[in-house]
């Protein structure tokens, strides 16, 4: 087992040790959740949770927020920035925090790096330890920042959720090698807060295994992308219990077209239940998506400790 895989499998004690979130979103401020790469995918899910808990929110990539904030939130509205970054050093995320603070907006940082440039630019800090062996590919840190963002949004995320995620990973593990056999096209589908995690699953697949992968809201997949489905496709369907029926119909259609389907919370070639506290499904599913990337990389003899063209911190200048 390499260090990437250890980081994925050994993340659950870190979830249990993650700090309570003692701060809450400022009332009457639009919550703009910024980040880059993995961190903006996690931001996408956190923004959904914030909206669902009554806090107007939207996810924005760091550079987009720095360069054209009023394309995303109308000028004059009170805004609070929630900046996510494992390293606290990604150029665009740090710039988004700095320019926001200069403009008078409060900044909350969610990070694994309390001494970082991002923290120096933030008013309030939510920090966590991460797996000591985590390398370029972000896994445990992504889960931990999602967990902390969910608590910030007002959700209860405790040991029952950790136990559910561990159980799901243990149940999925024996099936993953068989599911990926002969598959070269990977599709991650999820609605609501599952969508950001679906994007993160697709990114992990690209970074780790250099495979074609994509993410969509489930029913959007029927409007064009479904053209690519065939017997080379593996679809990871993360079922939203509110839309289980329509997503199940889609899964059956994809199966009939030759895809295999890993059904998390609903039907598939392999179907696994997703437990955990209310609303925590996206976090519970995330480690399975991370491990899937490692399985595909290994099947292609790719070393996920040295992913092509990537560095642990992406800075400009
Ligand atoms: O969370 P950080 O440290 O800002 O880093 C985000 C980085 O992580 C990655 O997703 C790599 O895993 C990059 O795309 C991105 O630059």
Helix axes 194-209 and 38-52, enclosed angle (nearest 10): 170
Q: pLDDT tens digits, residue range 301-314?
A: 998 887 787 877 77
Quote the pLDDT of residue 306. 77
Task: Verify that 41 and 127 share a domain, yes or no.
Answer: yes
Q: pLDDT tens digits, residue range 92-150?
A: 999 999 999 999 999 999 999 999 999 999 999 999 999 888 888 899 999 999 999 99
- For this structure, is 260 an active site residue? no
- Closest Cα to atom 14 of ligand 1: 37
Q: What six digits make up the tokens of 215?
A: 């993410």
Task: Verify that 185 and 294 share a domain, yes or no.
Answer: yes
Task: Verify that 43 and 72 share a domain, yes or no.
Answer: yes
Task: Give a yes or no: residue 270 inside a domain.
Answer: yes
Single residue among 152, 175, 191 that ends a domain in this structure: 152
Single residue among 94, 117, 152 that ends a domain in this structure: 152
Task: Verify that 145 and 202 share a domain, yes or no.
Answer: no
Q: pLDDT tens digits, residue range 184-219?
A: 999 999 999 999 999 999 999 999 999 999 999 999
86 within ligand 1 shell (Cβ under 6 A): yes
Task: Give a yes or no: residue 307 inside a domain.
Answer: no
* DSSP assignments along 19-82, one per residue: PP----PPTT-EEEEEESTHHHHHHHHHHHHHHHTT--EEEEEHHHHHH-GGGTS-TTS-EEEE
Task: Give a yes or no: residue 144 inside a domain.
Answer: yes
Quote the pLDDT of residue 68. 97
Quote the pLDDT of residue 237. 98
Task: Verify that 133 and 165 share a domain, yes or no.
Answer: no
Task: Verify that 143 and 9 share a domain, yes or no.
Answer: yes
Best substitution site from 33, 34, 39, 127 to test ligand 1's pocket, by max atoms within 8 Å of Cβ? 39
Q: What six digits make up the tokens of 317?
A: 């200048």
111 CA closest ligand 1 atom index: 1
The total number of structural domains that make up the chain = 2
Check which CATH number belongs to the domain holding 266 and give it: 3.40.50.10490
**What whole-number distance in Å separates Cα of residue 237 and Cα of residue 296?**
17
Task: Verify that 46 and 13 share a domain, yes or no.
Answer: yes
- Residues 6 or more apart whose Cβ sits within 8 Å of residue 279: 49, 52, 150, 155, 193
Task: Verify that 71 and 114 share a domain, yes or no.
Answer: yes
Residue 317 has pLDDT above 70, yes or no: no
Task: Verify that 166 and 264 share a domain, yes or no.
Answer: yes
Single residue among 88, 117, 152 that ends a domain in this structure: 152
pTM listed for this prediction: 0.96
Quote the pLDDT of residue 283. 98
Provide the mean pLDDT of the chain. 95
Residues of the domain holding 36: 3-152
Task: Verify that 68 and 202 share a domain, yes or no.
Answer: no
Q: How far is the CA of 216 from the centre of ligand 1 (A)?
A: 21
312 CA closest ligand 1 atom index: 11
Q: pLDDT tens digits, residue range 2-21?
A: 989 999 999 999 999 999 98
Buried-state track 53-88, b at ≥16 Cβ within 10 A, e below 16? eebbbbbbbbbbbbeebeebbeeeeebbbbbbbbbb
Task: Verify that 281 and 142 share a domain, yes or no.
Answer: no
138 within ligand 1 shell (Cβ under 6 A): yes
Task: Give a yes or no: residue 312 inside a domain.
Answer: no
Q: How far is the CA of 126 from the centre of ligand 1 (A)?
A: 18
């Amino acid at each position: 087992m390499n260090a990437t895989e250890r980081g994925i499998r050994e993340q659950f004690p870190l979830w249990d040790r993650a700090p309570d979130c003692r701060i809450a979103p400022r009332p009457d401020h639009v919550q703009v959740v910024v980040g880059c790469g993995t961190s903006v995918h996690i931001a996408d899910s956190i923004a959904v949770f914030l909206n669902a808990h009554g806090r107007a929110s939207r996810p924005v990539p760091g550079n987009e927020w720095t360069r054209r904030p009023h394309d995303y939130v109308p000028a004059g509205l009170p805004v609070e920035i929630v900046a996510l970054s494992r390293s606290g050093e990604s150029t665009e995320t740090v710039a988004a925090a700095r320019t926001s603070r200069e403009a008078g907006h409060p900044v909350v940082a969610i990070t694994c790096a309390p001494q970082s440039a991002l923290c120096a630019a933030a008013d309030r800090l939510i920090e966590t330890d991460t797996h000591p062996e985590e390398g370029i590919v972000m896994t445990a840190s992504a889960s931990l920042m999602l967990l902390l963002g969910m608590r910030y949004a007002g959700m209860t995320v405790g040991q029952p959720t950790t136990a559910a995620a561990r159980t799901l990973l243990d149940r999925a593990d024996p099936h993953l090698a068989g599911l990926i056999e002969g598959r070269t096209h990977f599709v991650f589908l999820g609605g609501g807060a599952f969508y950001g995690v679906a994007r993160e699953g697709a990114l992990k697949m690209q970074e780790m295994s250099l495979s074609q992968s994509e993410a969509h809201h489930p029913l959007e997949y029927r409007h064009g992308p479904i053209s690519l489905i065939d017997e080379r496709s593996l679809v990871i369907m993360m079922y939203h219990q509110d839309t289980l029926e329509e997503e199940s119909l889609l899964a059956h259609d994809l199966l009939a077209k030759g895809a295999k389907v890993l059904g998390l919370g609903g039907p598939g070639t392999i179907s696994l239940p997703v437990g955990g506290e209310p609303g925590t499904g996206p976090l519970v599913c995330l480690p399975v998506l991370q491990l899937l990337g490692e399985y595909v990389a290994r099947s292609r003899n790719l070393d996920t400790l040295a992913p092509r063209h990537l560095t642990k911190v992406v800075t400009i200048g």
